[in-house]
Structure formats: C-alpha cells, structure tokens
Amino acid sequence: MIQLDKLLKGTEVAEWLDCSVQHVNRLRRRGAFPGIAVGGMWRYDPADIRKYLNAQKGAAA
C-alpha cells in the first residue's frame, strides 16, 4: 500500500537523479517509473525510483 506521506515531489526526485524536474516528467511520460497525481501535482513512490536507479545501474554494467 502506498503511504501518501512518503511520496516524493518532482523536485525531490530530480535531486535524487541529479537532473531537472522537466527530465523527471519526461521519464514518467516514457514509462521509466510511475507517478501518482495528487491534487494536480505529480508524486512518486520512493520504491519506484529505487527500482529505476537499480535498473540503470544494471544497464550501465
């Protein structure tokens, strides 16, 4: 179950990925990881971002 108080904002995901919020939005639209629209703003489950990072780590090896 998703805990709404644990969801990340786009700016927080951008900090994790060291990229812009626009790039985070592009990744979401391309299906790299899911987002959840809450009150008109996109939020992200940290577990989904970790999965994305682990997949990228494996792809780079």
- Give the three-state DSSP class for 60: helix
Q: Where are the domains of the chain?
A: 4-60
Please provide the CATH number assigned to the domain covering 4-60.
1.10.1660
Q: Report pLDDT for 61.
A: 63
pTM recorded for the entire structure: 0.87
Query: Which residue type, as a one-letter code, is found at position 59?
Result: A
- Which pairing describes strands 8-9 and 36-38: parallel, antiparallel, or unpaired? unpaired
- What is the predicted pLDDT for the residue at 41? 95
Spans of the chain, pLDDT less than 70: 61
Closest CA to 49 of 2, 25, 16, 3: 16
